[in-house]
Amino acid sequence: MPIHATHPTTGDTITASLAGAALVISPRYGESYSFDRAGRLLGLFVDERSYQRTLDHRLLERLRNNGQRRRELSPGESAALLAWAFAALRELAGIAPQLDLPDGDRARLASALAHVLAFGPERLQADGAAFARLYKPVSILPPDQYLALVLQATEGCSWNRCTFCGLYRDRAFRIHSLESFRAHCEAVRDFFGEGLSLRRGIFLADANALIVPQARLRALLAIAQDVFGLPDGPRPIYSFVSAFDVERKSAAEWAELHALGVQRAYIGLETGDNALLDFLNKPGTVEDAIEAVQALRAGGIAAGVILMAGIGGDRFAADHVRRSVEAIRAMDLGPGDLVYLSKYVPAPGTEYPQQAADAGIRPLDEAEMDAQITELQAGVRAIAPGVTVAPYRVDGFAL
């Protein structure tokens, strides 16, 4: 049960939720701080503003009604906000012995405050630096995996030539050896410590880790389960895979991976129009993606299919929507499967904007992209009523 108390001098309401995977402490109404069970700060709510602390130690303010999702605080702003937060927590720790609470609740609150205060601003900064050493940049995750435990069995993207995508241009593709992956897993385990309780499943990164040859992939998954498996069985595992690569595994091979914990594979289809796929330099065809999903599902693994609104501009718009819905229909998706709808966001250093301009393609404006999202959503829901259809803001991701 949450702890409720009244400040002995100010009369402020003090609340704390300490029993779950996260600790939430509110020293006064309208101000709260959340932490993982290691004591690592996760988020702040101050002066009606919500902030996220990323694992690499940036503070992001969540924004509303201005077309942006977040704003990164400057180092000075971050330092001031953290100083404010930890001063409030120290003040609460100082008066905790005076609170009118049952002895057990008073002791639990005092212990939690000591725990989070020991993970103060200097340690948080060092923790962010440790995270940056441990991981290559985690470029993107599906929205349902934002609290996953990311394990980089591969780095980069094996294709990395789609004209619209800049997520992995900064690194070459490589597959970890079994030895280096075990070392990575053990270092991740030590980094998160008690904070692992907040991580729901494993996301096997980077872009298409499931391309790894089957025998080696089985060994990598076995290592992940050896280090992070649950007492009652495998920890759920999720990953991206490209439609071009996924066809290389049979339904029987997917069933083997399912037995090792793989629950869902996410495919960046982007469009059901083969002409647009070719224009984007996407490998493979819509038919490849359909066969890929069928093989996944036959092996007991759910599919997450990603479609992109706005890509292809005015020239491809009508065929993009119609053929994307047709592709989803052919996949015969069911309960447990997902369809994500994202908006095209220009990425620095990518070829698509100039390529589209040279071809005389007019970009869709925001209203047109919203309309395309609505049309795709309605089309998919009409032909796949048991499937979750949800937005995917690729520019809103921060780990």
pLDDT of the residue at 207: 87
pLDDT of the residue at 66: 53
> Could you tell me which residues are beta bridge partners of residue 16?
3, 25
pLDDT of the residue at 200: 86
Task: Give residues with Cβ within 8 angstroms of 241, minimum separation 6.
Answer: 208, 209, 210, 211, 265, 266, 267, 292
Whole-Å CA distances, 209 to 119, 149, 277: 34, 15, 21
Instruction: Using the predicted structure, report yes or no on whether residue 101 has a pLDDT greater than 80.
Output: yes
Q: Averaged over 150-156, what is the pLDDT? A: 94
Q: Averaged over 86-94, what is the pLDDT? A: 96
Instruction: Using the predicted structure, report yes or no on whether residue 246 has a pLDDT greater than 70.
Output: no
Q: Averaged over 385-392, what is the pLDDT? A: 92
pLDDT of the residue at 372: 96
CATH number, domain 135-396, options 3.40.50.300, 3.30.70.2740, 3.20.20.70, 1.10.10.10? 3.20.20.70
Q: Averaged over 22-47, what is the pLDDT? A: 95
Tens of pLDDT, residues 186-200: 999 999 999 999 998
Percent of the chain with pLDDT over 90: 79
pLDDT of the residue at 68: 61
Tens of pLDDT, residues 363-386: 999 999 999 999 999 999 999 988
Residue ranges per structural domain of the chain: 3-120, 135-396
Q: Averaged over 328-356, what is the pLDDT? A: 94
Alpha-carbon span 102 to 175, nearest angstrom: 54
pLDDT of the residue at 243: 72
Percent of the chain with pLDDT over 70: 98
pLDDT of the residue at 67: 55
> What single-letter amino acid sits at 257?
L
Whole-Å CA distances, 81 to 73, 74, 215, 398: 9, 11, 49, 19
**157-160, Cβ contacts within 8 angstroms, sequence gap of 24 or more:** 157/206, 157/207, 157/208, 158/207, 158/208, 158/211, 158/242, 158/245, 159/207, 159/208, 159/242, 159/244, 159/283, 160/207
Alpha-carbon span 51 to 387, nearest angstrom: 32
Better pLDDT: 243 or 26: 26
Tens of pLDDT, residues 280-293: 999 889 998 999 89
Instruction: Using the predicted structure, report yes or no on whether residue 159 has a pLDDT greater than 90.
Output: no
pLDDT of the residue at 208: 86
Q: Averaged over 213-238, what is the pLDDT? A: 95
Instruction: Using the predicted structure, report yes or no on whether residue 36 has a pLDDT greater than 80.
Output: yes
Task: Give the three-state DSSP class for 193.
Answer: helix
| Mean pLDDT estimate for the chain | 93
Closest Cα partner for 96 from 194, 47, 25? 25
pTM value?
A: 0.92
